[in-house]
């Protein structure tokens, strides 16, 4: 059904203004992002088809351009709109993280890392560098790998931590498989990093592994 055929109060934009974002379904929110339909379908029909095809938000927002444009009604413009929405969400989460001590809100930290490490095609190892009050100095992606993992070098992490005068760090990386459980290699590199940084009194506060819709914390599981 096209938006013009809906009662005014049931159209996504009007509904959002009247009742707020929580009142909208996933397809209605997506319809607002896309703006228009195409391929002979209204924007609501296109939105439902996209969410169904890609299995929800995660699959849709991680779909590449070549994959998305095969859906009738999608094109480069709509792809860039979706990518911009994802990046805005990541930047908002980072801004929230900068506003206070990282450890005061573990859920905020986890939310940012899940947004930041959302790329499913390769492994990315990043580091949150913190000052003595555990406020964020910088978030940097230090190592990049393939589906088989990333090579992580303690000397690189140590050098960067000293350059930034960090007092503590939180490590994070994603598992492209979507499973957030730590591997034996994850445990080994965490131990090596912790030992290297301890030599200069820099604390490792956590190592978070991001999976698909989930995250594993070394600290919470008693591994640090």
Domain boundaries, the chain: 3-88, 100-217
Residue 150: band (very low, low, confident or very high) from pLDDT cuts 50, 70, 90: confident
How confident is the model at residue 173, as a pLDDT? 94
User: Which tens digits make up the pLDDT trace of 164-212?
Assistant: 999 999 999 999 888 889 999 999 999 999 999 999 999 999 999 998 8
- Digit-coded pLDDT (tens) for 118-130: 766 789 999 999 9
Enter the tokens of residue 84: 């911009």
CB 157 within 8 Å of CB 149? no
**How far is Cα 133 from Cα 130, in angstroms, rounded to an integer?**
8
What pLDDT does 101 receive?
A: 62
As its CATH architecture, domain 100-217 has 3-Layer(aba) Sandwich (3.40)
pLDDT of 147 above 60: no
pTM: 0.71
Closest CA to 145 of 173, 170, 165, 168: 173
Tokens of 3: 């938006």
The pLDDT, as a whole number, for residue 117 is: 86
State yes or no: pLDDT of 94 exceeds 90.
no
Q: Do domains 3-88 and 100-217 have the same CATH topology?
A: no
Going by C-alpha positions, the residue among 51, 118, 64, 126 that lies closest to residue 90 is 118
26: part of which helix (H) or strand (E)?
A: helix 26-34
pLDDT-based confidence at residue 142 (cuts at 50, 70, 90): very high
Range with the largest mean pLDDT of 115-119, 144-148, 158-162:
158-162
- What CATH class does 3-88 carry? mainly alpha
d(CA 13, CA 32): 7
């Amino acid at each position: 059904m096209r938006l013009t055929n809906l009662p005014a109060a049931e159209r996504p934009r009007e509904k959002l203004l009247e009742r707020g974002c929580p009142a909208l379904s996933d397809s209605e929110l997506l319809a607002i992002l896309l703006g228009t339909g195409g391929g002979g379908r209204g924007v609501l029909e296109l939105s439902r088809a996209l969410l169904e095809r890609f299995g929800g938000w995660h699959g849709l927002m991680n779909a590449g351009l070549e994959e998305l444009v095969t859906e009738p009604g999608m094109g480069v413009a709509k792809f860039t709109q979706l990518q911009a929405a994802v990046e805005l969400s990541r930047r908002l989460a980072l801004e929230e993280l900068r506003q206070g001590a990282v450890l005061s809100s573990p859920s905020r930290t986890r939310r940012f890392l899940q947004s930041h490490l959302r790329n499913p095609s390769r492994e990315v190892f990043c580091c949150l560098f913190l000052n003595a009050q555990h406020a964020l100095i910088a978030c940097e992606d230090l190592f990049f790998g393939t589906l088989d993992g990333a090579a992580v070098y303690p000397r690189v992490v140590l050098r960067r931590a000293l350059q930034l005068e960090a007092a503590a760090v939180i490590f994070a990386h994603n598992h492209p498989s979507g499973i957030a459980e730590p591997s034996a290699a994850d445990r080994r590199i965490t131990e090596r990093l912790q030992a290297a940084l301890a030599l200069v009194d820099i604390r490792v506060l956590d190592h978070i592994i991001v999976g698909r819709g989930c995250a594993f914390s070394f600290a919470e599981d008693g591994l640090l």
